[in-house]
């Protein structure tokens, strides 16, 4: 009488999860989301963004000149929010591991960042 063969299990050699990279990525993504929400909210109330883009240029410039400091400050907040996606992508790539993980995550975030920065027609 023969004993049944045991199923073989294959262990995938993956790097251990680095909690520091996970925390950094989570913090960068959460901060980017909070800054983007705050930026769009304030720009919507101060500058009527993005609805203002449908107005004639003269009306846009008049409203901009009236609130130039606030508009520039909150657009800078949106730039910082978008820029936080790059390091988040790098940290997520490190968590994914391997050459493919290191390249795909930052590239995906760069594409998303470029898409967010382009105005909607």
pLDDT at 95: 82
What is the average per-residue pLDDT within 30-50? 94
Phi (first) and psi of residue 2, to 5 degrees: -100, 150
Summarised one tens digit per residue, pLDDT across range 85-120 is 888 888 888 887 776 666 666 566 666 555 555 555
Is the pLDDT at 18 greater than 60? The verdict is yes
Quote the mean pLDDT of the chain.
80
Question: Chain centroid to CA 15: how far?
Answer: 25
**pTM > 0.95:** no
What are 62's two structure tokens? Answer: 């008049």
CA contacts within 13 A on the Cβ side of 65: 6
Rounded to whole angstroms, the Cα distance separating 18 from 28 reads: 16
The residue among 110, 84, 95, 98 whose CA lies nearest residue 30 is: 84
The residue among 42, 97, 51, 92 whose CA lies nearest residue 71 is: 42
The conformational region for residue 48 under phi > 0 = left, psi -120 to 50 = alpha, else beta, is: left
């Amino acid at each position: 009488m023969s004993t049944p063969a045991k199923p073989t299990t294959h262990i995938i050699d993956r790097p251990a999860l680095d909690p520091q990279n996970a925390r950094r990525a989570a913090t960068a993504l959460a901060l980017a989301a909070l800054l983007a929400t705050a930026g769009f909210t304030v720009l919507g109330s101060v500058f009527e963004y993005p609805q203002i883009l449908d107005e004639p240029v003269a009306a846009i410039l008049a409203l901009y000149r009236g609130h130039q400091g606030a508009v520039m400050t909150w657009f800078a907040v949106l730039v910082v929010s978008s820029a936080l996606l790059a390091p988040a992508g790098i940290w997520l790539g490190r968590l994914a591991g391997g050459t493919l993980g290191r390249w795909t995550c930052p590239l995906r975030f760069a594409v998303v960042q470029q898409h967010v920065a382009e105005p909607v027609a």
